Amino acid sequence: MSALKIGILGAGIGGLTAAIALHRAGHDVVVYEQSKQFLRVGADINLTPNAVRALDGLGIGEAVRHTAARPTHRISRSWDSGEETSRLEMGDTAEKKYGAPQLTIHRADLLAVLAEIFPAERVRFAKRAEAITQDGSGITLKFTDGSTDRVDVLIGGDGIHSAVRTAMFGAESPRFTGVVAFRAVIPAASVAAVPNLQAFTKWWGPNPESQIVTFPLNRGKDIFIFATTAQESWHLESWTTPGSVQELRDSYAEFHGDARALLDACDEVLKTALYERDPLPCWSKGNMTLLGDASHPMMPFMAQGAGMAIEDAVVLARCLAQVKTLDAIAAALQGYERLRLERTSKIQLGSRGNNWLRDGGNADWVYGYDAWAVPLDAGQEMKQEAGAV
C-alpha cells in the first residue's frame, strides 16, 4: 500500500487546509461537504502570526495576503474612558518577531484560496454524513442522499456539531454560553475620524461578556465589528440571521464615543448565539480523528478558532505523511492528538476566561507557535511520560 484513502468531513477552513497538506503528502484525499457549493457566508476571520505561518508553509500565504488586511497593532481600550490599557505592535514588528504578520480576511476569501489549490474533483458537495461506522479495516460513511463511501482514515473537520465526534463519543450538544454576538461591516471612510482604524482594537466592557472588537477587512477598505453581550433569551446559532441595529446601539450606549461612532455607522447587523464545549480528554478513536471546531469549539475572545483549525491540519498532515500501512494509522492519530491537545485546551479555556492581553502580557506562546517545526517525536515522548506516571 502506498497512499491512504483519507476522507475529510467538512470543507471548512480546517478541513480544506488538512486536505491540501495530506494531498501534497501523496495521500488519496476526498472531502465531503454538506453544502451544495462554497457560499459567501460569514465575515472576517482573524489570522494571527501562528496561523499565517502555517499557511505560508503550505505556499499559500501570498494568495491570502492578496485580499487580506494587515492590522497595525493590537490595542485594548476601556469601554467608558476609552483609555488604552495595552498596545502590541503587529505588522512588520510581528513579522520580524514571529516570521509572519497578523492578517484579517473574509472567511469566503480564505476558503476561495484554499479551494483554488485543492483539486476541485476531490471535493464532493451535497454530501451530508448521517451515519459513520468503523470496523477493523476502515470507516463507512452514509450520506443523507443514500450514497455511501469507504475510507481508511476519517478526519472530522465538520465543525461544532460534528457527526464524526458523535460517532466516536456519542451525542452531546454544545452548551449555550448566555452570550450573543453581533457582526457588522462598515466602510472605513464612513468613520474616518475614529483613531487607529487599521488596528485590531478590543473595547473591554463592564463585564466579561461585554466587548466590542474592530479590525480592518478587504485590505483596509472596510471595518469589521464584532460585539458580544450577555443575553439569555436568544438561543439561535446562525451565520446569516439579521439582528437589530438599534439593539446593537442600545447594548453599548454607555461606551466611549469612538466605539459608539462605529456602531452609529452600521446599516445592518447579523446576530447569533455563541455556543462552546469543554476540552475533550482525547479526540481520536482507531482510524478516526477530529480537528478544528469539531474537537475544540471555543469562545471568540482570543480570536484563535481558525488558527487552531489550521495548526491542527498542519500537524495532523505531518503525522500522517509517512504512514503507508493501515496498521500504523491509529498510532499516528494518537501522536497528533498528544501534540495538539494541551495547547488547544489551554486556548479553549483561555478564550472562555476572556482576559487575554487585556493589560498587556506576553503573546509569544500563542503567536510564536510553528506547526511546521513542532518535533513530531514530542508526541511519542508525551506518551512515554504519561505511561511512566
Ligand X SMILES: Cc1cc2nc3c(=O)[nH]c(=O)nc-3n(C[C@H](O)[C@H](O)[C@H](O)COP(=O)(O)OP(=O)(O)OC[C@H]3O[C@@H](n4cnc5c(N)ncnc54)[C@H](O)[C@@H]3O)c2cc1C
Sole binder of ligand X in the list 5, 87, 107, 383 (CB under 6 A): 107
**H-helix or E-strand spanning residue 129:** strand 129-135
What minimum distance in Å lies between the beta carbon of 200 and ligand X?
13
Residues 352, 111: Cα–Cα separation, whole Å: 26
> In this chain, which stretch among 185-193, 247-255, 305-313, 352-360 interacts with ligand X, using CB under 6 A?
305-313
What minimum distance in Å lies between the beta carbon of 237 and ligand X?
10
71 lies in the site for ligand X, by CB under 6 A:
no
12 lies in the site for ligand X, by CB under 6 A:
yes
What minimum distance in Å lies between the beta carbon of 298 and ligand X?
8
Between 223 and 242, how does the x/- string for binding to ligand X read (CB under 6 A)? ----------------x---
Across-strand partners of 123?
Answer: 31
> Strands 148-151, 284-285: parallel, antiparallel or unpaired by DSSP?
unpaired
Residues 199, 74: Cα–Cα separation, whole Å: 6
10 lies in the site for ligand X, by CB under 6 A:
yes
Q: What are the backbone angles phi and psi of residue 18, rounded to the nearest 5°?
A: -65, -40
What minimum distance in Å lies between the beta carbon of 352 and ligand X?
15
The answer to whether residues 335 and 386 touch, using CB atoms and an 8 Å cutoff, is no
Sole binder of ligand X in the list 152, 209, 258, 293 (CB under 6 A): 293
11 lies in the site for ligand X, by CB under 6 A:
yes
Return the number of the residue (263 or 294) whose C-beta is nearest ligand X: 294
What minimum distance in Å lies between the beta carbon of 379 and ligand X?
21
Return the number of the residue (258 or 340) whose C-beta is nearest ligand X: 340
3-class DSSP state of 374: coil
> Strands 84-89, 73-78: parallel, antiparallel or unpaired by DSSP?
antiparallel
| Cell representation of residue 313 | 491540519
Cα angle, residue 143 at apex, residues 140 and 146 outer, rounded to 5°: 105
User: DSSP letter at 323?
Assistant: -
Return the number of the residue (16 or 323) whose C-beta is nearest ligand X: 16
What's the chain's length in residues?
389
What minimum distance in Å lies between the beta carbon of 273 and ligand X?
14
Residues 347, 267: Cα–Cα separation, whole Å: 34
Give the amino acid at 158.
D
3-class DSSP state of 82: coil
The gap between the terminal CA atoms of the chain, to the nearest Å, is: 37
Residues in 112-171 at the binding interface with ligand X, rule: CB under 6 A: 127-129, 157-159, 163
CB neighbour list of residue 349: distance below 8 Å, 6 or more residues apart: 279
What minimum distance in Å lies between the beta carbon of 136 and ligand X?
24
314 lies in the site for ligand X, by CB under 6 A:
no
3-class DSSP state of 331: helix
Between 315 and 344, how does the x/- string for binding to ligand X read (CB under 6 A)? ------------------------------
7 lies in the site for ligand X, by CB under 6 A:
no
Quick one: which of 38, 9, 4 has its CA closest to 22?
A: 4
Return the number of the residue (80 or 237) whose C-beta is nearest ligand X: 237
| Cell representation of residue 102 | 497578523
What minimum distance in Å lies between the beta carbon of 143 and ligand X?
8
Return the number of the residue (9 or 188) whose C-beta is nearest ligand X: 9
What minimum distance in Å lies between the beta carbon of 251 and ligand X?
19
Q: Which residues of 235-245 are buried (b: 16+ CB within 10 A; e: fewer)?
A: eeeeeeeebeb
Sole binder of ligand X in the list 4, 7, 8, 14 (CB under 6 A): 14
Return the number of the residue (199 or 258) whose C-beta is nearest ligand X: 199
The answer to whether residues 345 and 279 touch, using CB atoms and an 8 Å cutoff, is yes
Residues 106, 314: Cα–Cα separation, whole Å: 21
Return the number of the residue (35 or 198) whose C-beta is nearest ligand X: 35
Between 27 and 56, how does the x/- string for binding to ligand X read (CB under 6 A)? -----xxxx-----xxxxx-----------
What minimum distance in Å lies between the beta carbon of 187 and ligand X?
18
Residues at the contact surface with ligand X, assessed by CB under 6 A: 9-15, 32-35, 41-45, 107, 127-129, 157-159, 163, 239, 292-294, 305-306, 309
